[in-house]
Structure 1
Amino acid sequence: MCLEINLMDSNRCVFCEITRGNIKTRKIYETKHSIAILDAFPLKEGHSLIISKTHSPKIQDLSSEASNDIFNTLYFLTEKIEKAMDCSSSLISIHNGKDSGQEIPHFHIHIIPASYSNRNRSIHSLFDKKDIQTDKIDEYWKKISREVGSTQSI
């Protein structure tokens, strides 16, 4: 096992420790603002993570420069990981905050190789849609559009 730190210490972020080099990992790529590693607890073969080098819990906490760097890393690595793992697709996942299922409050992106034989399900199958009030879609659109500063319809 690569993790060589007491992860139960609530004052220490495992991803900060990884980016500082205090935890041995299977590093596959590194940039100014990110480090890419194999996930220590993979969901599938080749499951990788891109981790921000700054302790920023959510995407909106990143600087524009860091965000650009991280997403350029995602763009670069996705095809390489798919090719290395001999698969046709990948699931790209970001849990943006605790309520979305983010277990470590440090921005990271999952790249999970996938192929037809994996029998992957669509993102819609992960949620219970009975709680959605489809008659309120226009209301949701108006709220979000006001925040964005746009009121154009298509």
Structure 2
Amino acid sequence: MTEAAYDTGNIFAKILRGEIPSHRVYEDEAVVAFMDVMPQGPGHTLVVPKAPSRNLLDAAPSTFGPLFSTVQKVARAVRKALNADGVTVMQLNEPASGQTVYHLHVHVIPRFDGIPLKPHTGTMEKPEVLAENAEKIRAALGS
């Protein structure tokens, strides 16, 4: 099985370079976290390493420490900020898994008892809702 090459024109690479705006909630030298513009629930956040790789299958092992320590930090903040009952953390690899953006990323989605995830339909959230949720999460990260 041949792996496809990393595409530097993918949307997350463009977000990392600042070519496309995003509602960032966290950034350090290795990782950026920002709001998913097509959330499966309120507060759906993406955690993305700055190092280029299509997904978990081709990423350098050194990517995972900074990535997953940030995933934990963001998951705690998302849960607190949205007063969630739990958090779903998902990471998809290749088309058969549902991956649609080919830059390694982790979904952090606050969950609420009795409320299912919305389907990933391509419907974009209102910018003001994303901004409000991003502010709540940034505040929770700061506390």
- TM-score higher than 0.5 here? yes
Residue 64 of structure 1 deviates from its aligned partner by 2.3
Kindly tell me: are residues 46 and 61 of structure 1, through their superposed partners in 2, closer, same or farther at Cα, counting changes over 3 Å? same
Residues in 2 aligned to 1:111 and 1:92: alpha-carbon distance in whole angstroms = 5
The alignment-based identity, stated in percent, is 26
RMSD, matched Cα: 1.6
One-letter amino acid of the counterpart of residue 74, structure 2:
L
CA contact (8 A) 1:28 1:37 kept: yes
Counterpart AA for 2:59 = L
What is the distance in 2 between the residues matched to 1:91 and 1:57? 22
* Displacement of 1:25: 0.4
TM-score scaled by length of structure 2: 0.72
Counterpart in the other structure of 1:38: 35
Per the alignment, residue 58 of structure 2 pairs with 61
In structure 1, the residue matched to 2:125 is none
Partner of 1:23: 20
1:72 and 2:69 are equivalent in the alignment: yes
Q: How far does residue 32 in structure 1 lie from its aligned partner after superposition?
A: 1.9
Task: Name the aligned partner's letter for residue 108 of structure 2.
Answer: I
Q: How many residues align?
A: 111
Which is further off, 38-47 or 55-64? 55-64
Relative to structure 1, the CA distance from residue 108 to residue 11 in structure 2 (aligned partners, 3 Å threshold; closer, same or farther) is: closer
Larger radius of gyration: 1
Which residue of 1 is the match for residue 108 of structure 2?
111
Residue matched to 1:97: 94
In structure 2, the gaps of 5 or more residues are 1-6, 118-143
Q: Is this contact kept in 2: 1:51–1:108, CA < 8 A?
A: yes
Distance (Å, rounded) in 2 between the aligned partners of 1:83 and 1:11: 34
Distance 2:84 2:40 in 1: 15
TM-fit CA distance, 1:119: 4.4
- Per the TM alignment, residue 11 of structure 1 is displaced from its structure 2 partner at its CA by 7.0
The residue type paired with residue 32 of structure 2 is I
User: Helix, strand or coil for the counterpart of 2:21?
Assistant: coil
TM-score by length of 1: 0.67
Q: Flag the structure with more relative contact order, 1 or 2, with Cα contacts below 8 A and sequence separation at least 6.
A: 2
In proportion to residue count, which structure has more helix? 1
Q: Which amino acid aligns with 2:67?
A: I
**Aligned AA for 2:81?**
A
